[in-house]
């Protein structure tokens, strides 16, 4: 009976009921609202921003918030609200592109390791472990200057360090899924391996992995800000939350507003994605749910 119950609750695609459960969960509702707000403000940054984020107006530097500049100005007189909005664009695109690429590449190597011959599996797993042994920041500081700072480098570093992570999840999931009776049933019917993987196994293992990935987006957002702060990420005059923070630390004696303007959106974005990811996991993981 419990087994039938568990079966009924897993293997389910997102539907209206799942969405309703997500919104009814206070954490999920807050997370969803923050994420939607972030996405909208990033998409419409061009319309919402009152100023050009790179327009320099030195006489008006380091102003506190006012009706003209809601979040004040930085040391070059640039409007901080505009810079924060465009910074959201950068943060979101870096996070989404890195997650997408890391998932795709991780899936490729993970499947290769899971289905390939033993020796290939060993080589791939060894490579995964080698990459994972480097701390992200140290690797970024070492590799960053080599390729030059910029958005591509940030994405490159984030993808390289998270591919082994997703690759391992894919590898373990397919090895586990290959033992399922339905896979054997399809084999017994004479279905080709590739077709079993694409049509039957992937749809079953991808759901949980996507939820893990959604919980990694805040990490990527924070990593982008951190790398930009350290000078291996996005370069000025392009805007980034990390750069606003960097400026804020330099001028913290003159004004606290830059640090606040750089950190509040970063905190809200990471919180939003974390809440949403956890709520999603609760909605889809039957073991954590309480109703029958």
Partner 1 sequence: MTEKLLEVESLAIRYGMIPAVNWVSFSLARNQVLGIVGESGSGKSTLIWALTRLLPEAADIVSGSVWFEGRDLLRLEREALRALRGTRISYISQDPMSALAPSLTIGQQMVDILYREPWSHREKRARAIDALDWVSLPDPEARLDMYPYELSGGQRQRVSIAMALMLEPDLVLADEPTTALDATLEVEILELLRRLQQESECAVVFVTHHLGVVASLCDEVMVMHRGDVKEFGAVARVFARPEDDYTRRLLRCDPARIAQPTRRLPTMAQPPDAPVEHHAGPADRVKADETAVLEIRDLSVTFRRAGVLPSWLGGRPRVIDAVKQVDLTLHRGETLALVGESGSGKTTIARSVLGLVSPQAGSITLAGREIIGADAARLRAARAEMAMMFQDPTGSLSPRVPLGKQVVEPLLIHRQGGGDLRARALELLAQVGLGAEFAERYPHQLSGGQARRVGVARALALEPRLIVADEPTAGLDVSIQGDILNLLNEIQERSGVAILIITHNMSVVRHCADRMVVLLRGEIVEAGASADIFSDPSHPYTRALIEASQHHLPEQSNEE
Using CB under 8 A, list all residues that contact partner 1: 1-2, 4, 7-13, 180-182, 184-192, 195, 199-200, 203-204, 290-292
Strand ranges in 39-197 using DSSP code E only, listed in sequence order: none
In the complex, the smallest distance separating the C-beta of residue 188 from partner 1, rounded to whole angstroms, is 5
In the complex, the smallest distance separating the C-beta of residue 200 from partner 1, rounded to whole angstroms, is: 5
Which CB, 19 or 180, lies closer to partner 1? 180
User: Maximum Cα–Cα distance for the chain, whole Å?
Assistant: 77
Of 134, 120, 38, 132, whose CA–CA distance to 87 is shortest?
A: 38
Beta partners for residue 79, in sequence order: 73
Dihedral pair phi/psi, residue 217, rounded to 5°? -55, -45
Q: Which is nearer to partner 1, 150 or 207 (CB)?
A: 207
Residue number, 250 or 289, with CB nearest to partner 1: 289
User: Can you say whether the dihedral through the CA atoms of 4, 7, 13, 14 is positive or negative?
Assistant: positive
CB of 117 to partner 1, least distance (A): 17
CB 21 within 8 A of CB 42: no
202 contacts: CB under 8 Å, gap ≥ 6: none
Nearer to partner 1, 183 or 244 (CB): 183
CB of 184 to partner 1, least distance (A): 7
Instruction: Considering the complex, state which of residue 17 and residue 267 has its C-beta at the smaller distance from partner 1.
Output: 17
Residue 6 or 56 with smaller CB distance to partner 1: 6
Taking residue 255's Cβ as centre, other Cβ atoms within 10 Å add up to: 21
Q: Cβ 284 to partner 1, closest distance in Å?
A: 13
DSSP code string of 150-184: SHHHHHHHHHHHHHHHHHHHHHHHHHHHTTSHHHH
CB nearer to partner 1: give 8 or 250. Answer: 8
Q: How far is the CB of 1 from partner 1 (least distance, A)?
A: 6
Separation CA 48–CA 65 (nearest Å)? 17
Calpha distance 266→264 (Å, rounded): 5
Least distance to partner 1 from the beta carbon of 138, Å?
A: 37
Q: Given the complex with partner 1, which of 52 and 285 has the nearer CB atom?
A: 285
d(CA 175, CA 191): 18
**Is residue 257 within 8 Å of 80, Cβ to Cβ?**
yes
What tokens were used for 80? 């901080």
Nearest approach in angstroms of CB 235 to partner 1 is 45
């Amino acid at each position: 009976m419990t087994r039938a119950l568990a079966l009924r609750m897993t293997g389910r695609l997102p539907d209206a009921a799942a969405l309703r459960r997500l919104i009814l969960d206070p954490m999920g509702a807050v997370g969803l609202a923050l994420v939607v707000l972030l996405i909208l403000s990033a998409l419409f940054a061009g319309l919402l921003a009152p100023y050009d984020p790179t327009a320099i107006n030195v006489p008006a530097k380091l102003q506190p918030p006012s009706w003209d500049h809601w979040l004040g100005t930085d040391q070059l007189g640039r409007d901080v609200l505009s810079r924060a909005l465009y910074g959201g664009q950068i943060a979101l695109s870096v996070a989404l592109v890195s997650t997408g690429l890391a998932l795709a590449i991780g899936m490729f190597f993970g499947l290769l390791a899971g289905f390939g011959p033993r020796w290939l599996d060993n080589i791939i797993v060894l490579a995964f472990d080698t990459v994972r042994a480097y701390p992200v920041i140290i690797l970024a500081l070492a590799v960053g200057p080599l390729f030059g700072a910029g958005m591509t480098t940030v994405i490159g570093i984030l993808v390289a360090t998270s591919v082994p992570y997703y690759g391992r999840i894919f590898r373990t999931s397919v090895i586990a899924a290959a033992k399922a009776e339905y896979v054997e049933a399809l084999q017994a019917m004479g279905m080709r391996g590739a077709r079993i993987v694409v049509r039957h196994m992937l749809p079953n293992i991808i759901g949980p992995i996507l939820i893990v990935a959604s919980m990694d987006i805040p990490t990527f957002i924070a990593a982008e800000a951190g790398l930009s702060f350290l000078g291996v990420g996005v370069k000025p005059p392009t805007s980034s939350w990390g750069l606003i923070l960097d400026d804020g630390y330099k001028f913290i004696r003159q004004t606290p507003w830059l640090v606040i303007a750089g950190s509040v959106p970063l905190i809200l974005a990471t919180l939003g994605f974390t809440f949403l990811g956890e709520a999603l996991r609760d909605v889809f993981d039957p073991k954590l749910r309480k109703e029958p």
